[in-house]
Structures are given as structure tokens and as C-alpha cells.
Structure 1
Amino acid sequence: MSSQASLRPAVVLSLVLVVWALTGLTHAQPKASVLDFSASLGNLLPSLSRPANSSRIFYGVMFDAGSTGTRIHVYTFIQKDPEELPVLDNEMFHSIKPGLSAYADMPEMGGYTVRQLLKVAKKTVPRLEWKRTPLVLKATAGLRLLPSEKSQALLEQVQDVFDESPFFVPDDSVSIMNGTNEGILAWVTVNFLTGHLYAETRETVGILDLGGGSTQITFLPKSKKTIGSSPDDYIARIDMFNSTYELYTHRTCIKYLLCHVIHRPPYIIVLLYTPGLEWRVFKSSCLPKKFREEWSFGGLTYIVSGKPDGESYVGYKLCYQEVLKVVKDIVHQPYELKDTSVFYAFSYYFDRAVDAGLIDRTQGGMLEVRDFKKRAKEVCNKMSKYRPINPFLCMDMTYITCLLKDGFGFKENTVLQLTKKVNNVETSWALGATFNHFQNLKIHR
């Protein structure tokens, strides 16, 4: 599972030159903290004595250790002229399954998977550049949920692999990233790739992420009332690209799930924890009438089924009422979302739109919130048609619709751009996290 993407036209990376100009040509030490690393950028960029027409290429390697797999991103930057800004030229991406958390009882195997992925970096980065190319791994939900001793054992194995590698290894090169920073750094990635961080109007796009049991939203508010009416821990300030951005960002964990990542349709879990559920038997109007399945989670086995008697027990309206009971009161509604413009939506938003035939898996697409609603009605009111393909599709589409409309408060004509790449670069937090190390991007809570 690998792909190579070239960024054309190349996207401008602005702050690197500024940091280089401020820090000079300070020599890098064998180890450096994030705060110290910005001072080593002079070694990555061309010196002022180089000919004006010469170019310098430098690299960054970021590992995304997620719950379902581990991914490596190798970014190539070009400094064409000391007095011009560098550009992001290329991304090499490769992934491997399962994720590190699957090796909780075999940490050595987890380290082995990272060692295998490092071969991609060695093939992409020229040997002469290895010693000055930073190597970083950020783990997310999978490791966050493991007992601390197991996650620590995995991180130590990865650290050993990094220390044995020929690449530049900062002191904090291996760590677990909190969920809030995931959203912030993904916002940085998307707005960088779309060119919005350089616009004088400061028009940016928001991002939406949806996983099994959690949902995240990050955007730049236009109204001071949004910031003033939001809980303090929903606002984060980042200083980057010579600008300060005060973002609204929040990750909601549904009920008692503690943001657990489920490896099957996620939205059924939301309803399983509905108050009043008895005997762990879940009957829903969101499922086909004759559907019945055993499903295990958290050491317990549940029976999941549709409501078998009568047409009146199924359909979009009844399904929406079920989902609304869970969504209401757990998702904060920002003041201004009804008036915002484009949002980029990832993960299950994208996957379920593909399953429902709303977008192409390769190309992605642009949808309005009303498109999810329309297809949810079609699927729920003709569940027998979709049962062989995906018996959970009615529930999934209704949940997305309810979350967007009654959860976040989007208008039906709000535009969502569903994609996995922008300008052929992965839209994950990885590029934003690379900036965090290259540029000493600071996130203030």
C-alpha cells in the first residue's frame, strides 16, 4: 500500500526562511529538543555564500502511528535561492497494517514494523542528507488507550530503532500526541496546502474528523462572540507564518467511550450506550427489520437487531429520533457555524459518503449537508435494498446528518469538501506536525 505524490505547483513554506534569518547558521548537536531544533535550520538551508542560481533540497520524515496502521510521510523541500522561500516539492507516503497498538504484548514486533518503514525513508532521502533529516513519530488513539506500561514499552522499542538509524533524532522524536493537537495540526496541513495561510484576507477552511466514538472540529472563528461564548479549553492559539491564529477546536467523546476506536461501523456504539438499555439487547429503527447480529465490545457481547414488527418501526424519521437522543447535549454548538463557508471532512465522513454513492473513492467530492440528509432518507426508507451491501448504512448516514445539523448546527447548504488529499498530499496532521519540528510552531492552551 504505497503511493508517491508530487506537489505541482509547489506550495510555499514561509516561516523556514524567517527562522533561518533569525537564528543564523547554528550547528546542530547530535540531539536537540524542539526548542533547540529551530536553531539547527541553518544547516538545512543554503548559506548566503551559495550561488544565486543553486538549489538545495532538504527533507523531513514523520511517522503517524494510528490505531489501524502505521504510516510514514517523507517530505521533500527545495530552497531555490537564499533570498526566496522554500517550497514543498514532494511527499512519499507508505503505510502498513496493523497499527503499533496491535503489538501491545509483542513490542519488539512493533519496532520491527517501524524498521521496515524506515526503508522508505532511506530510499527517498539521499544518503548524504540522512544525518540532517529529522525523524519523528507521533502515536495517536491506539496507544493512548493502552495501559501506560504497554504503550511505554512500544515507544521505547521505536526509540531504539530511531537511535540506531542514521537520521537526525530530536529528543522528543517519539511521543503520544493528544487528540486536540491532532485537530490543530490537521487544520494547519489543510490550510497550508490550500494556500489559505498566505491570504491577506485570512480566509481559511475548517476541518471535520469523525472516528469510532469521537468527533473533532477545528476552524478559525470570524466572530469574537464565538470565542467569548465557548469554553476556555475549546480555544487554542497558534503562532506561525508570522501570524497568530486563535482557533476553535474540540474533540467530543461520545458518552462513556473515552474516544475508543472501534474497528467496525462506529455509530452503533453511540446508541449502545443509550440510557435504559437492558440485557445488552439493542433494537433500532435504524437497522433492517430482519437484521440480527452478535457484536462484542469491552468484554461484553451485545445482540444488535432491527425492530421486526411492522413498517412503522423503521425509517428515517424514527432513526433520526433515536440518534438525536444521543447527539443532543453532548456536542457544543459554536455561535457562528451557520454562517461559515467551506469545511474539509475526513475519515468516516469520507468513507460513508463513498459507501452511499455520493462521491468517488479516488476523486472525493464536494457535498452540502443536505446531500447527506437526502441520501439518509433514501437509504432508511428502502433499507431492504441496502441490507446486503451495508446494513448499517441507514444508521451511519442518519448519524452524520444529525451530528452536522443538530450537533454542530450547520446549515443544510454548508459545503463539505470530502477528500483524502489536497494537491496530491495526504491531508493528515503529519505535515502540520512536521512544521511543528521544523519551525517551532507553538500551541498555547
Structure 2
Amino acid sequence: MRTGTRRGASAGGNDKGDRFSSSHPFRSLTPRRIAAIAAGLLFVIFFLGKSSGGGREGYHSAAVETLTAGGVAPKEAAVEVDKLPPGSPQKQASASSGKCTPPPGKKATTYAIMIDAGSTGSRLHMYTFSHCDPNPEALPKLEDELFVTTKPGLSSYKGKPRDAAESLRSLMQQAVDAVPESERSCTPIAVKATAGLRLLGSKESQDILDEVERWLTNEWPFAVVKDGVVVMDGKDEGVYAWITINFLLGFIGPDQPASAGTAAVMDLGGASTQIVFEPIYDPGASDKLAPGDHIYELDFAGQDHVLYQHSHLGYGLMQARRALHNLVAYSYVWSSAPKGHPVEWDDLSPRDRIPNPCMFRGETKKVTLDPPGRKERQVTMVGTGAGFEACRRVMEVMINKDAACEKPPCAFAGVYQPRMSEVFSAGKVWALSYFYDRIAPLGLSSPFSISSLRQLTTDVCAGRDSPSWARFKGNSEAHEELSDRPEYCLDLTFMYSLLSLGYELEEERQVWMGKKVGDVELGWCVSPSLLLLLQARERPLTTSRIQGARRSPRDGRGTLVVPRRLGGAAPSDGLRPGSRPRGGEVSP
């Protein structure tokens, strides 16, 4: 049961307000620092990436390309159910199979609805769960998913909360049609907004959320979760994605063997990127996970996990595009005076054709520049076709690897992160969302090595006239993708730089990616829906609201307790002392 196609978050062109986190390189840009950065970029941009289209002369109008993804979705790479570990709940019988034996007093089928209010669109996931293991401690099987999407996202309705709520109407109508009437009043629904609304500002975002909650409660038949229409904490977004992957693959849950291990998750959205993994330390060594709010203690169905997590706000794909365009434009302005034709920032217009080493030669795109402390200006970026190395050098400035590191080791932007080569050397790494949407259509299969991603990026950045594009011969999906996005070189270079430079994954490190496990989409929405369902099953619903998942900070740490059984006591915020994270690897 599916509707629509999915390509991950897409456009991010309308966000205003506080776009960058405190650790983002553009937060601290001053004219003096900008000049220093620009000086370092001059050689890259203007010598390695020189084009014939610079300056105001020879200007030709170009159509404005939006960032909204359209067309045919990439082929969806699925992990086959028969290849999953024995402990995966996805290997259970289905409710419709005739072999279903639910726990005593429990229904064989239940539903849960989660709306992902992303930076570029709203996506409704209506999950159907089967409960066919008579053991009351068993986790349910995620049987089916209705997935529908609409654009733009809630964050596009700043100052128009009613319009924001109404933008969800088409999604809600399909959910009503999909859930049996007898189950609607006891089907929990929640809305979790991600980085787009976090960037909008507290008052504007809260006005939208309040109206969405009122609208859902008054106009629709589902059980709206109390305090469930919220801007999701960035740390929860990454952890939820981690739970989804490891739950569906059968790496976490009741009675999992100690050798099972867990998978790391790197999720790339439009406005932010998240990393979550379970570091493994030698019990006899002095090294351990440093204290701080990057620690997330998880009790999932009776198993303790101590996770490292961080959400890098401002390092999503669309924010990375913006950041790079701003850097290139600053270099253009800074270098104009020595050439005898000084250009003032406030005078920039689409007539300015600014050479961009991260775009294909000769291709143009109108973009909006919006660095902190400066007026928004629209200019025309012109691709120089300078290639991967030129683009990568600009990208490394944006990654901010050399930022001050107060608590080493740091990944990038001065953010503490234990080195994966030391504490997660054998675990699987899963790359989600935009990683899949940009890489998979070009023919790079899962798993791929970091070095193969580098080669793919080098080939793409070489441009259409390069012999390296012969690798895409016969791949109509790749040609469609590449013809539609002049910034494909930029996108891939950012992804490679993020994985190799930012997260320090070795060139030979393997990375898995995919869209589904069986028929189920991979993403963060599965795990909070599962949690809502388990809590609802503990306390059957007859009203329009249920209590949201309880989560409390402790010493700055994120904590989450997922109920251990469908019929037990209410979940507790208290956590047992964490057990040692498990090592090893299971190949699905």
C-alpha cells in the first residue's frame, strides 16, 4: 500500500532567520575573515576554474532552476527479507497469512501515523503493524506503509499558520481512506518537524505547530498525541533513524546475541546532517566516551545502548549549496577591486555572472545569496567545469575541518566525535536520504567504498564532454539525473568531503545505502511510530489524545526508553546502568 514517490528532502530555498548553527563557519564570518578566505580561494576559482562567462558583459537571461526535485524517483534498493538475521521482526508471519498467532488479548493488526514535517516538504507515513508472535515481549512486524508527500514544507508558511495546517489536507485524507473506520480513533498520530522549522525561529514555528495540532484534533478522527506536534530535537532525529535501521535489520531487540553488533547511521537532509553510532571501547582501556550532550542512552526492549550522536545544523545538502555559493560570491566581490572593476555586494544582481568551480562548464543557475549580516542578493552562477579537485578545495573551507577543537578528537566544525576507525572499525555504516538519492541513480551499488565514491565524483565533475562519462552509457536514470542538476558535482563533492574529511572514513571503508527493508522505507519515522504504538497498546485509546513518548535529560544526555512488551507497565524514564556496547557484525 503505497502512494507517491520519495526522493528525500528537496528544496530549501525559502528558509529565513537563523540559518546556521553556532559551529557553522558562516556564523563567525566577518569582512576581515571573508577577505582571508577569499584570498585562499582565488587560485582555485579564478585560475583553475576560469571561464569565459564572468563579469557583467555578455549577460544572457537564464531560466531559474528551482531546487524542488521532480520526475522519476530513483530505483529503490531494498534489503531482501530472506537475507535478514533470524532475529529481525520482519521475518515474522503476516497478519494476512493465516499463520498469525497474536499475544493473548491483542489485535493482529494495528496502525500508527507519523508526519515528517521536513525543510522541503511534509511526508506522511501510515504504518501497518502485525502482531503474530504469541510472545508478549516480541516486537511487531512492520507489515506495510502508506507514504504520501506534499510540497512545500511547513516552514514555507511563515506568518500563515492556517495555510500551513491546510497544506496537510491531501495527506490526511489519504490516511483516513487507508485506516479502517473502527481503528481510526485508536490510531495514534504525531507530527515531528525537523531542521526547516528549527531554522524558522521559535515564535513563527510555534504558531504553525499550535495551529496544526488544533486542526488535527478538531477536524480528523485519529488520536492526536499529547505534546506530539513538535519541532524534533536534532539528536532525536538521528537516534530515531538509528533505531529504524537496527530494528528492521534485527540488530536490536529482545534476546539479540551479543555478537550481533549494531549499524551506524549517517543521514543527510536538506538543512542538517546527523551521525549516530554505538562506540565500542576496550573495557581495560582508559579511553571512553567523553561526557556531554552527544551521549544518548537507549533502553530498547530490554537492551541498553550508549550511543554517540550529533546533528550538524547548517550542513544539510541545500544549506551546503548555499554556503558554497556565498563563499564563491564573496571571492568574486573581493577580487574585483584589484582587477580595476570593483563590485559592491549591495550592487550584485543577476547580471553578475560569477564563475563557480563546482558546476558544469557553461551551465548557469540563478541563486540567492544570503550570508549573515548581508542583504540577500540574486546572482547568476556560471559553471567553469574546473573539476573535482578545484571544487573539493572550496568545499574543504566550508567543511571547517580546522575549527578550534576544545574537546578532542573532533570531526569538523569543532564538534567532538570519537574516531570511528578506533571505536567503530568493524561496524556497518548506513548512509540515508540524500546520500542515496544522489549516488544510487548513477549506478554505484551498495555497499560502496569511499574511494569508489571519490572516483564517481571525479568522473561526474569532469563534465559531459569527458570520456569518463562513458560509465553512464545505457543508464537512462543517470542521464536524467545529471541533465536536471547543474550542481551535481557540488552535491557529490560535498558528500565525499563530509564522509572522508569530516567523518574521517578511510578510502577502503564500505558504506551501505538503501531506501527500504523489504517494502518498508528506511528513515527515522519508523521508530517513533513504533514507540507510539507500543505505548498505545499498553493503554487502549478511546479519546482524541494519547500521552507522547516520555524523554528526559540527565546530565545533558539524551535518554529514550522503548517499552519492552506490549502488555507491561508504563515505560519509565529511569535507566539501568548501561551495558557494554556490543561488537561484531552481521551481514544482512
TM-score bracket for the superposition, by shorter chain length: 0.7 to 0.9
Taking the TM superposition and a 5 Å limit, the aligned residue runs for 1:164-203 are: 164=218, 165-198=220-253, 199-200=256-257, 201-203=259-261
Contact 2:328 2:356 in 1 (8 A): no
Matched residues in 1 for 2:446 and 2:377: separation? 39
Matched residues in 1 for 2:552 and 2:241: separation? 13
Distance 1:227 1:213, change over 3 A: farther
- What secondary structure does 2:308 align onto? strand
Match of 2:420 among 336, 346, 350: 336
Contact 2:112 2:530 in 1 (8 A): no
Match of 1:223 among 281, 287, 298: 281
2:494 corresponds in structure 1 to 399
2:3 corresponds in structure 1 to 2
- What secondary structure does 1:344 align onto? strand
Q: Note if 1:162 corresponds to 2:222.
A: no
Q: What root-mean-square deviation, in Å, do the aligned CA atoms of Structure 1 and Structure 2 show?
A: 3.5
Give the partner amino acid of 2:112. Answer: G
Give the partner amino acid of 1:221. Answer: P
- What secondary structure does 1:67 align onto? coil
- What secondary structure does 1:169 align onto? strand
Structure 1 residues not aligned, in runs of 5+ = 14-44, 309-313
Structure 2 residues not aligned, in runs of 5+ = 6-75, 91-100, 334-344, 346-351, 371-375, 404-411, 470-481, 536-548, 558-588
Bigger CA radius of gyration: 2
1:21 corresponds in structure 2 to none
1:415 corresponds in structure 2 to 510
- What secondary structure does 1:135 align onto? strand
The structure with more helix, counted as a fraction of residues:
1
Match of 1:76 among 128, 152, 156: 128
2:41 corresponds in structure 1 to none
Match of 2:268 among 203, 210, 222: 210
Contact 1:334 1:408 in 2 (8 A): no
Match of 2:395 among 319, 323, 328: 323
* Relative contact order higher in (CA < 8 Å, ≥ 6 apart): 2
Matched residues in 2 for 1:426 and 1:367: separation? 20
CA-to-partner distance for each residue in 1:247-293, whole Å, 9 max, x for gaps?
A: 1111224xxx4x67738xx4462363479635268544333454454
Deviation at 1:370, TM superposition (A): 1.2
Structure 1 range deviating more: 65-74 or 77-86: 77-86
Deviation at 1:351, TM superposition (A): 2.2
1:23 corresponds in structure 2 to none
Identity %: 29
CA-to-partner distance for each residue in 1:29-79, whole Å, 9 max, x for gaps?
A: xxxxxxxxxxxxxxxx9884x5xxx85322211111112221111122233
Match of 2:529 among 426, 434, 438: 434
Distance 1:443 1:192, change over 3 A: farther
Distance 1:288 1:226, change over 3 A: farther
1:41 corresponds in structure 2 to none
2:49 corresponds in structure 1 to none
2:73 corresponds in structure 1 to none
Contact 2:421 2:505 in 1 (8 A): yes
CA-to-partner distance for each residue in 1:113-138, whole Å, 9 max, x for gaps?
A: 32332222222222222222211111
Matched residues in 2 for 1:92 and 1:187: separation? 21
Matched residues in 1 for 2:269 and 2:173: separation? 30
2:65 corresponds in structure 1 to none
Matched residues in 1 for 2:552 and 2:132: separation? 30
Contact 2:360 2:486 in 1 (8 A): yes
Contact 2:296 2:306 in 1 (8 A): yes
Match of 2:367 among 291, 295, 307: 295
The structure with more strand, counted as a fraction of residues:
1
- What secondary structure does 2:119 align onto? coil
Match of 1:374 among 442, 455, 458: 455
Taking the TM superposition and a 5 Å limit, the aligned residue runs for 1:14-413 are: 48=104, 50=105, 56-80=108-132, 83-84=135-136, 85=138, 86-164=140-218, 165-198=220-253, 199-200=256-257, 201-212=259-270, 214-223=272-281, 228=288, 230=290, 232-253=292-313, 257=314, 262=318, 266-267=320-321, 269-270=323-324, 272-273=326-327, 277=331, 279=333, 283-298=355-370, 299-307=376-384, 314-327=386-399, 328-329=401-402, 331=412, 332=415, 334-337=418-421, 339-354=425-440, 357-359=442-444, 365-382=446-463, 384-385=465-466, 390-413=485-508
Distance 1:293 1:11, change over 3 A: same
Give the partner amino acid of 1:169. Answer: V
CA-to-partner distance for each residue in 1:391-426, whole Å, 9 max, x for gaps?
A: 323332222222211211111222222212222211
Distance 1:202 1:233, change over 3 A: farther
Matched residues in 2 for 1:388 and 1:120: separation? 33
Could you state the TM-score of these two structures normalised by the residue count of structure 1? 0.77
Matched residues in 1 for 2:450 and 2:195: separation? 27
Could you state the TM-score of these two structures normalised by the residue count of structure 2? 0.60
Number of aligned residues: 395
Distance 1:348 1:55, change over 3 A: closer
Contact 1:141 1:261 in 2 (8 A): no
